[in-house]
Amino acid sequence: MSELFQVSTDTLLLRSEEEKQKNTNPLHLGCIYLVVKDFEKSISFYEKFLDTTVTNRCRSGNKFVKFYIDNNCIALMNENNIRGHCTDLNSCYKFVQNYWVEDLETEYERVKLLKIGPVSDIFETNPSYYYFHLTDPDNNIIEITGGYHMDTYICQSCGMKMQPSEYGANADGSTNKEYCKYCLPDGKFSRDITMEEMVESNLKFLKEFNEEGGTDFTAEEARTEMLKYFPTLKRWKNK
């Protein structure tokens, strides 16, 4: 073929420099996960089938295991321990594509603007492991993980940790990362209340707060902590 078309073998077999530079997408493929119902049974099956033993179970906390074959990776994901990875337990579409990026928040905003499928909030499964999901037309999950600092974004009115989808809005419609959308929906506060009234309003969600954080604050304990913490927030400083 090289002689027939009078080109080098490199031209036939390798991508040109121009083609190599075309991909400006920040995504890097991490792994393909098979979502499994019986985690232990599946591990045993693949250990025997692939004649290898997994070694990363402690680090993953029994959420996933990885098998490396010819420098490629196939992983099993325990759907019972990972939130949001399978929307239909009886679905025949049971795999997760995993990608990683340097800046998770920037990628999150890029994917949302594409409007090509449902996008979840950014979640934290393990300390420093953050991800969000994009769902494809066949209900398969695309997981994107990367660098993110959730604790940086605390609503300076109600004190809640904010997901990007919960950021407030300025009067011109631009994003406001200081306040959540419930406190600042359109450039002005949704409620004209005192700090003490905000504390009492937050106490309505104490049960959900305790369940999410693994705490067991009583109403009085939570009230005391908020009354100490809220004066450090921007809205309530010097008031």
Taking each helix axis from N to C terminus, what angle separates 219-229 and 195-202, rounded to the nearest 10 degrees? 140
Residue 137 falls inside a structural domain: yes
CA dist 220 and 188 (Å) reads 30
* pLDDT at residue number 70: 76
Task: State which of 117, 150, 183 marks the end of a domain.
Answer: 150
* Mean of the per-residue pLDDT values of the chain: 81
Q: What is the pTM of this model?
A: 0.51
Whether residue 51 is found in the same domain as residue 114: yes
Residue 230 falls inside a structural domain: yes
Whether residue 214 is found in the same domain as residue 110: no
* pLDDT at residue number 184: 96
* pLDDT at residue number 96: 81
Parent domain of 232: 155-236
Domain count for the chain: 2
Residue 11 falls inside a structural domain: no
Considering Cα of 100, then 104, then 108, then 110, what sign does the dihedral take? negative
Residue 118 falls inside a structural domain: yes
* pLDDT at residue number 231: 92
DSSP 5: H
> Pick from 208, 195, 192: which is nearest to 158 by CA?
195
Contact 139, 88 (CB under 8 A): yes
Whether residue 78 is found in the same domain as residue 168: no
- Render pLDDT for 204-223 as a digit per residue (tens, 0 to 9): 999 988 887 778 899 999 99
| Local structure of 15: helix, strand or coil | coil
Residue 199 falls inside a structural domain: yes
CA dist 222 and 210 (Å) reads 10
CA dist 144 and 20 (Å) reads 23
Task: State which of 150, 177, 201 marks the end of a domain.
Answer: 150
Whether residue 88 is found in the same domain as residue 202: no
Instruction: Tell me the CATH number at 98.
Output: 3.10.180.10
